[in-house]
Amino acid sequence: MADLKALAEAIIKGDQNTAAQITRAALSERISPKRILDEGLVAGMEVIGKRFSRNEIFIPEVLFAARSMKAAMALLEPELLKAGVEPVGRVLIGTVKGDQHDIGKNLVAMMLKGAGFEVIDLGTDVSPDRFVEQAKAKQVHVVGISALLTTTMPAMERTLMALKAAGLSVKVLIGGAPVTQAYADKIGADGFAPNAAEAVDLAKRIVA
């Protein structure tokens, strides 16, 4: 019988092959995709999130874990869709206009997926208009904006204003190395997270 604790452990260790292998075995044994997600992938990523918040592990370990989760998720996602499992919430995420940095944003996106969110990742250099267009089209609950340059931070405010002007009632979460809570308050964002683990906690609180 496929061991979901071992799946969580493989995610924590960043062991992509074992994670995919156990997921495949669990699916062939007809264990429900939701159980595999909750007891395997989400359980593993929760441990990673906590250890990262406590500075017990660092970016490389988180990236390895996130990649293992991605490998298992690729197998699980079609089954979750077939089973009609509702995501925790739908998040649109991207790096602001003019900014090419995406390592932190990708980490946030992967951790959100690990926590059961549906994530639509627009990539980098995303204009306010594209955020608005996609937020409307995909009917998201949360828009996540990342910026790594002090020169691109003002594009966060422009994006927020564009979302408001379009009359969208989405919650906006921002982050990135130069971004602070004070900046989030100044531009009227709904939340700021200093790292991926806290971004997940905040997104969960927002959709709760």
Question: Rule CB under 6 A: which residues touch ligand B1M?
Answer: 59, 93, 98-105, 107-108, 144-146, 148-151, 173-178, 193, 195-196, 199
Nearer to ligand B1M, 20 or 93 (CB): 93
Q: Do residues 99 and 152 make contact, with C-beta atoms less than 8 angstroms apart? A: yes
Beta strand 90-95 pairing with 191-192: unpaired
Q: To the nearest whole angstrom, how small is the minimum distance from the Cβ of residue 35 to ligand B1M?
A: 29
Nearer to ligand B1M, 105 or 113 (CB): 105
Residue showing tokens 């991207």: 94
Nearer to ligand B1M, 26 or 153 (CB): 153
Q: To the nearest whole angstrom, how small is the minimum distance from the Cβ of residue 73 to ligand B1M?
A: 19
Nearer to ligand B1M, 65 or 196 (CB): 196
| Rg, Å, the chain Cα set | 17
Point out the residue whose Cβ comes nearest to ligand B1M. Answer: 104
Distance between CA atoms of 17 and 143, rounded to whole angstroms?
32
Q: Do residues 179 and 171 make contact, with C-beta atoms less than 8 angstroms apart? A: no
Nearer to ligand B1M, 101 or 158 (CB): 101
Q: Do residues 172 and 199 make contact, with C-beta atoms less than 8 angstroms apart? A: no
Q: To the nearest whole angstrom, how small is the minimum distance from the Cβ of residue 137 to ligand B1M?
A: 19
Distance between CA atoms of 85 and 48, rounded to whole angstroms?
24
Q: To the nearest whole angstrom, how small is the minimum distance from the Cβ of residue 47 to ligand B1M?
A: 16
Q: To the nearest whole angstrom, how small is the minimum distance from the Cβ of residue 1 to ligand B1M?
A: 36
Nearer to ligand B1M, 19 or 145 (CB): 145
Q: To the nearest whole angstrom, how small is the minimum distance from the Cβ of residue 147 to ligand B1M?
A: 8
Element at 192 (helix H, strand E):
strand 191-192
Which residues lie closer than 8 Å to 93 by C-beta, 6 or more apart? 105, 108, 109, 112, 119, 120, 121, 122, 143, 144, 145, 146
